[in-house]
Amino acid sequence: MVKAVVGANWGDEGKGKITDMLADEADVVIRFQGGANAGHTIVNRYGKFALHTLPSGVFHPHVTNIIGNGVALNIPKVCEELSDIESKGVPAPQLLVSDRCQIVMPYHILQDACEEERLGGHSFGSTKSGIAPFYADKYAKIGFQVSELFADDAYLLEKIGMICARKNALLTHLYHREPLREEEILQTLHEYRDMIKPYVADTGLFLDRAVRENRTILLEGQLGTLKDPDHGIYPMVTSSSTLAAFGAIGAGIPPYEIRQIIVVNKAYSSAVGAGEFVSEIFGDEAQELRDRGGDGGEYGATTGRPRRVGWYDCVASRYGVRMQGATDVALTVLDVLGYLDEIPVCTAYEIDGKQVTEFPVTHLLAKAKPVYTMLPGWKCDIRGIRKYDDLPKACRDYVEFIEKQLGYPVTMVSNGPAREDIIYR
Ligand code: GDP
C-alpha cells in the first residue's frame, strides 16, 4: 500500500517526525519533490537530526530509502548528510537515487544568490539553495539527469557548451559576474558521478515491483500546500509541487496506488520566507510562541533563521487539507499551546468588509484580515499522555473544534517531538 505524508500549511508542520514514526512499519520511504532548501527535524534514539534531502526512513535499517526523480538533487549535500548521520552512530542506510533525478549544479546556487541580491527588498526570501533556477532549467530542458553523469565526455561537453552560452550571457550581462568555465563544469560532473554511483538505480522499476508485492511505501513531501506552485500563495511558493498527487510523478508510481494521504497540520501556524500569512502575530506575543514552539523554538532547520509564527488558521488549513486530498489529518505540536489562557483561532478572513471562509487567490489574500474565535486554553503540560481521553477537556475541545472546521478526520495528535509522542484516535 502506498501512503503519502504531506503538509497542509507552509511547511515545518512536523512531517519528518510523522514519517519517521510511520517508517517503522514501512518497507520503502521516498522523497518525491523539493531539494535541500528545507529540512525535516527528527528526534530519535540516535539524537536530533535535520534531514534536508535524505528520506526520513534512513534511521530504520529495514527501510529502502529512495530519492525520487522529482527531487532537486544536490549531490555533495546528500553525501554530507549521509556521513553526518553515520558519524552519529546510525547504521549506513539503504539508499537508492533515481537515475532520472536531476542535479543541482553550483551555477544554480550562484544564480539563486545573484537573483535574490538583484531583487533586493523584493526578493523571495529564498534559502539560496539553487532550487528555483534548478527547476527552471529542468523545465527549460537544459538540466542534467543523474543518468547523464555516466555519458561520455564528448556528449557532456556539447551539452555544457550549450548551457554555458545561455548562463554566461545572464551571468556577465545581468549579474556582472565571471563567466562559467566549461572544463570546471565537466570536472564537477565527474566528481558527482563518483560520489553518487553506489546509489543510482532505476527506482521506477524497483517501485513497480514493491507495489506488486504489496509492500508498504511512504511518499514523503516537503513544505506544504500553501507553497505549491499551482495551488499555493503564488508567487511566494516553492518550485515543485508539494501535493500528494505529485508523489505519483515525483516517485514514478501509478496515481491510483496512493491509498492513504496523511496531511500534517500544525496546531498553530509558522512560515519561513516571504508571502501572505493572514494569522501572523508580531512582537512579544510572537516571540513567546516562537521560543516555545516546535522542539527548541521555531527556527529554520536549514538556515537557523527565525520562523514567522501565528495562530491556527482554519481557512488556510481547510484549503490545505482539501487540496492534498486527506484521508487522515495529523495535528502536531499541540503540546506547545499549553501555556495560553485563551487560544485565538482564525475562523474567517475579512476582505473589503466581507467575511470569507474559503481560501482566496493571492491578490485578495493580501487584503485579508483575520477574524478570530477565542478558545479556552488547558494550562498544563500534555506531553507523555498516550490516550486521547486522558487529554484535558479544553485540549480535546480544541482538537474537535479544528476537526469540525476542517471537515476531515484528525486521526493522530502529536504531543511532543519524539517518535512515541503520538495519540491515535
Ligand atoms: P517538517 O519539515 O514538516 O518535518 O517540520 P520540521 O521538522 O521543520 O519542524 C517541526 C519541528 O517540530 C521539529 O523541530 C520537530 O522536532 C518538532 N515537532 C514535531 N512534532 C512535534 C510535537 O508534537 N510537539 C513538539 N513540541 N514538537 C514537535
Answer whether 300 contacts ligand 1 (Cβ < 6 A).
Answer: no
Q: Is the pLDDT of residue 124 over 90?
A: no
Closest CA to 238 of 4, 54, 9: 9
Answer whether 247 contacts ligand 1 (Cβ < 6 A).
Answer: no
Distance, in Å, from the CA atom of 159 to the CA atom of 185, rounded to the nearest integer, reads 11
Phi/psi-derived region of residue 16, left when phi > 0, alpha when psi is between -120 and 50, beta in every other case: alpha
Q: Is 202 a catalytic residue?
A: no
What is the per-residue pLDDT across 373-420, written as a single tens digit (0 to 9) for each?
A: 999 999 999 999 999 999 999 999 999 999 999 999 999 999 999 889
Q: Specify the 3-state DSSP secondary structure of 220.
A: strand
Q: Is the pLDDT of residue 302 over 70?
A: no
Residue 213 burial (10 A CB sphere; 0-12, 13-18, 19+): exposed
Distance, in Å, from the CA atom of 74 to the CA atom of 220, rounded to the nearest integer, reads 18
Q: Which residues lie closer than 8 Å to 10 by C-beta, 6 or more apart?
A: 223, 224, 226, 227, 269, 270, 271, 272, 275, 277
What is the whole-number distance in angstroms between the Cα of residue 150 and the centre of ligand 1?
39
Q: Which residue has the higher pLDDT, 158 or 42?
A: 158
pLDDT cut 90: percent of the chain above it: 88
Answer whether 298 contacts ligand 1 (Cβ < 6 A).
Answer: no
Distance, in Å, from the CA atom of 124 to the CA atom of 112, rounded to the nearest integer, reads 10
Distance, in Å, from the CA atom of 263 to the CA atom of 257, rounded to the nearest integer, reads 17
Mean pLDDT for 273-282 is 94
Answer whether 416 contacts ligand 1 (Cβ < 6 A).
Answer: yes
C-alpha grid cell, residue 142: 537544459
Distance, in Å, from the CA atom of 410 to the CA atom of 225, rounded to the nearest integer, reads 17
Q: Whose CA is nearest to atom 28 of ligand 1?
A: 417
Beta strands 410-414 and 422-424 are: antiparallel
- Give the number of C-alpha atoms closer than 13 A to the C-alpha of residue 382, restricted to the C-beta side: 30
Q: Which residue has the higher pLDDT, 375 or 116?
A: 375
Mean pLDDT for 341-363 is 97
Q: Is the pLDDT of residue 105 over 90?
A: yes
List 7's β-bridge partners, or say none.
Answer: 224, 264
Q: Is the pLDDT of residue 102 over 90?
A: yes
Answer whether 35 contacts ligand 1 (Cβ < 6 A).
Answer: no
Atom of ligand 1 nearest to the CA of 43: 16
Answer whether 17 contacts ligand 1 (Cβ < 6 A).
Answer: yes
Q: Specify the 3-state DSSP secondary structure of 63.
A: coil
Answer whether 56 contacts ligand 1 (Cβ < 6 A).
Answer: no
Distance, in Å, from the CA atom of 15 to the CA atom of 225, rounded to the nearest integer, reads 13
Q: Is the pLDDT of residue 330 over 70?
A: yes
Q: Specify the 3-state DSSP secondary structure of 332.
A: strand
Answer whether 301 contacts ligand 1 (Cβ < 6 A).
Answer: yes
Pick the catalytic residue from 40, 52, 108, 231.
40
Atom of ligand 1 nearest to the CA of 293: 26
* List of long-range contacts for 152-157, beta carbons under 8 Å, 24+ apart: 153/186, 156/186, 156/189, 157/182, 157/186
Residue whose C-alpha cell is 527531487: 71
Q: Specify the 3-state DSSP secondary structure of 316.
A: helix
Mean pLDDT for 228-253 is 97
pLDDT for the residue numbered 123: 81
Q: Where are the domains of the chain?
A: 2-87+204-424, 102-198
Are the C-beta atoms of residues 170 and 136 closer than 8 Å to each other?
Answer: no
What is the per-residue pLDDT across 133-186, written as a single tens digit (0 to 9) for each?
A: 999 999 999 999 999 999 999 999 999 999 999 999 999 999 999 999 999 999
Closest CA to 93 of 72, 63, 123: 63
Q: Whose CA is nearest to atom 6 of ligand 1?
A: 12
Among the residues of 143-296, which ranges form H helices? 153-169, 182-196, 203-212, 244-251, 283-292
Mean pLDDT for 39-66 is 89
Q: Is 12 a catalytic residue?
A: yes
Domain 102-198 has CATH 1.20.1090.10: no
Answer whether 55 contacts ligand 1 (Cβ < 6 A).
Answer: no
Q: Is the pLDDT of residue 304 over 90?
A: no
Are the C-beta atoms of residues 59 and 86 closer than 8 Å to each other?
Answer: no
Distance, in Å, from the CA atom of 126 to the CA atom of 109, rounded to the nearest integer, reads 11
Rg of the chain over Cα atoms, rounded to whole angstroms, equals 22
Q: Whose CA is nearest to atom 14 of ligand 1?
A: 295
For a mutational test of ligand 1's pocket, the pick from 41, 270, 398, i.e. the residue with the most ligand atoms closer than 8 A to its C-beta, is 41
Q: Which residue has the higher pLDDT, 87 or 127?
A: 87
Tell the CATH superfamily of the 2-87+204-424 domain: Adenylosuccinate Synthetase, subunit A, domain 3 (3.90.170.10)
Atom of ligand 1 nearest to the CA of 12: 5
Distance, in Å, from the CA atom of 17 to the CA atom of 414, rounded to the nearest integer, reads 9
What is the whole-number distance in angstroms between the Cα of residue 178 and the centre of ligand 1?
41
Helix (H) or strand (E) holding 310: strand 308-310
Q: Whose CA is nearest to atom 5 of ligand 1?
A: 12
Mean pLDDT for 49-63 is 92
Q: Which residue has the higher pLDDT, 50 or 325?
A: 325
Q: Is the pLDDT of residue 303 over 80?
A: no
